[in-house]
Structure formats: C-alpha cells, structure tokens
C-alpha cells in the first residue's frame, strides 16, 4: 500500500518564510497549507487534519505558544514545530514547557526542515495506527448549559483523547434568558472544546417526549452515528429533562452506550453507578460554564466553588479527586475516558526508537 503524502500546516505571518517552507516541503511530496492569520489556524487544523503543525512564535493576535497550547489541549498527540528568528533561552524554555516537539531557529536549512517534518509525521502516523478508533460522542440537553453542567469535564476528556464530540441542545432556553444570548453562549462553549453543536428551537418547558423531539434526535444520530450518548436522567424535577430522557431512549435504541448525567434539578432518586474522573479537566469545565454569562447572576449552582465541590463530593465514590456521576442505562463502550490516547502512543513510539538507537528529540 502506497503511503499518502504527509500533510503539513504552516502558520506564519511572514509571507516569504511561509512560501519558502511550503516550497521546500512540497518538493518532498508533502501537501502543505499556509495560514498567515494565526486566529484562523485552529479551524484550519480541524478541517485539514495535518500530520505536523509548524508555527512561528511572534505573530499578531495569537502567539505560536498560545497556538501550541490550543493544539495540546484539543489534539494532544499532533506534532508541533515552533520556529523563531530570535535565538533566545526564554523562547526555547517556553516552547519546551508548551511541549513543542521541535524548536527551530530561522533561517532553517531545507535539509533540517525536511528531516524534522518527515520524522515527526512518520511517528505520528505510526502512533495513530496503534491507537483505537475514536469514540463518537453525542451529548443531549434540553436547554443551553445542561450538557456543560452535567458532563462538561467528561466531554473535555473525550476531546483530549481524540474522540469526536457533538452537542445537541433541543431548545434555546427562552424561559431562562434571552434566546439569542443563550444561542451565542452555546456556540462559544462548543467551540471552546472543539465540539460540533446542533441547536434546535423547541419551546422551553414544553418539550415533548415524542415527536418532534424523537425525530430531531434520530436525525442527529443518523448523521453522527454515535457510539456513546449522554443525556438527562429521568430522576429530575424538570419536565423538559424527563421528556428528553424518554425521547433519547427511543431515538438511540441502536446506540451501544447510553449514560445519564446529573442536573441541578435532579431528585434524590438520581442513583449514579459510574463515577468518571475529570482530574485535569475541571478548569475546562469551569471555562465551559463561564461561557453562559447570562446565567451567572441567577443560578448559584454555576459558581465555580459549587461546581468544584460537587465534583469533589462525587470523587468519594470513584477514582481521583474530581468526578462526574452517571447512571448507566446500557453500555458496551468505555465511558471512563481512560483509554490510551494518541499522545501516549507517540511517547511509546519515541521510547521504542530511543531503545533502538534512533534519533529522538
């Protein structure tokens, strides 16, 4: 089988440097996309799916180290090469702290550029081949912020593991604030973790457990083909939450794993039987919830101390220091988000190469 050409994104505001880098790599058979505006790089990486990202450090609007942090949060194993024209210990330390795979000083010799890119791209592809196929996750909520409160940490962990995450919100929450504001907040939260958002417009407090709710969920399930569903528990005081639970069980009957999360309106009958550690993702959960600024002054349970205390409480039943609770309805996929991700596979590949005497950065 012929190996596909390596795919490289170059984020560089200096058009001459970008052209040079693109030309050198294309002569070696790479497919190269250049981005002059670093603020567009995140979306481009998601669409282009490169094997290697090359970024300058000093750029207007977003530094290369900021971009590196974004890539590490959303695509932990993707190789990132940091380039700069300034030979500085501070720059090098910053790049290393951000877990850059290589730090190159301009002007970069063509042979060095080719060597670094081909090595990192080869390692990345071997690691991906050894990594399990990603889970396809669909989180369903009745209103904006339901999903983020219930499983925000778990969804962040899924994204960090390379899983595909979609959020389906069935109403715009007009009873809880301005619908337009809540729409923008939902979009911001989904974008923050790189999730896709389906935002429907069912009437708040009047969501049915039959059609059109079932039909909407079935449509999204057909499009996304999820392997894991997160939705409301039926042990809940809010009628919309109970209706969404019932509709989800009907619409996702062929999905192999369905789990129910806790809402602030859950009753004492909420009986979780799985406690998923979100250690390392509590900050992201707080950032997701903070996107819903219209709710901050009217819902005490959105306060960071409350959110963290809740996660801390549930950890008494699970592993780690912070957990989100789930009621498992049916399960044949792993919802623990503990499987090896691409970054772990990359590290293993580097250890193997080092043991064999290969060049490892």
pTM above 0.75, yes or no: no
**Cα 240 to chain center, whole Å?**
27
pLDDT in tens, 72-83: 877 878 999 998
Higher pLDDT, 98 or 342: 98
Would you list the domain boundaries of the chain?
7-131, 136-330
CATH (one of 2.60.120.200, 3.40.50.970, 3.40.50.10320, 3.40.50.9100) for 136-330: 3.40.50.10320
Superfamily of domain 7-131: Response regulator (3.40.50.2300)
Q: What is 146-178 written as a DSSP string? A: HHHHHHHHHHHHHHHTT-EEEEEEEE--GGGS-
- What the block records as the tokens of 314 is 């549930």
Lowest pLDDT segment from 72-76, 208-212, 223-227, 343-347:
343-347
Q: What is the pLDDT of residues 288-334, one digit of tens each?
A: 999 999 997 788 889 999 999 999 999 999 989 999 999 999 987 66
Name the phi and psi angles at 360, rounded to 5: -130, 135
Q: Are 311 and 326 in contact (CB under 8 A)?
A: no
């Amino acid at each position: 089988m012929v190996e596909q050409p390596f795919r490289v994104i170059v984020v560089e505001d200096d058009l001459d440097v970008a052209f040079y880098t693109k030309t050198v790599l294309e002569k070696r058979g790479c497919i190269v996309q250049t981005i002059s505006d670093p603020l567009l790089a995140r979306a481009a990486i998601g669409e282009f799916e490169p094997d290697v990202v090359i970024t300058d450090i000093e750029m207007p609007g977003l530094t290369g180290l900021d971009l590196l942090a974004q890539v590490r949060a959303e695509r932990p194993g993707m190789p990132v090469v940091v380039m700069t024209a300034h030979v500085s210990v501070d720059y090098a330390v910053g790049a290393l702290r951000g877990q850059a795979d290589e730090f190159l000083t301009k002007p970069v010799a063509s042979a060095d550029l080719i060597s670094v890119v081909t090595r990192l791209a080869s390692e990345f592809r071997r690691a991906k081949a050894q990594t399990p196929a990603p889970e396809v996750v669909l989180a369903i909520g009745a209103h904006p912020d339901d999903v983020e409160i219930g499983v925000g940490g778990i969804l962040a962990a899924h994204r960090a593991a390379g899983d595909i995450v979609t959020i389906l919100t069935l109403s715009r929450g007009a009873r809880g604030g301005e619908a337009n504001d809540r729409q923008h907040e939902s979009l911001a939260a989904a974008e923050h973790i790189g999730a896709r958002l389906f935002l429907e417009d069912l009437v708040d407090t009047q969501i049915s457990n039959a059609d059109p709710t079932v039909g909407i969920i079935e449509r999204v399930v057909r499009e996304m083909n999820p392997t894991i569903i997160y939705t409301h528990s039926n042990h809940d005081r809010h009628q919309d939450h109970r209706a969404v639970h019932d509709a989800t069980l009907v619409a996702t009957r062929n999905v192999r794993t369905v789990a129910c999360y806790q809402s602030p309106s859950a009753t004492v009958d909420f009986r979780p039987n799985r406690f998923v550690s979100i250690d390392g993702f509590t900050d992201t959960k707080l950032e997701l919830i903070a996107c819903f600024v219209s709710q901050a002054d009217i819902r005490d349970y959105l306060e960071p101390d409350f959110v963290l205390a809740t996660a801390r409480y549930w950890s008494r039943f699970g592993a780690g220091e912070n957990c989100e609770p789930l009621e498992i309805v049916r399960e044949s996929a792993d919802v623990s988000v503990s499987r090896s991700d691409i970054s772990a596979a990359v590290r293993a590949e580097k250890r193997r190469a080092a043991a064999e005497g290969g060049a490892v950065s």
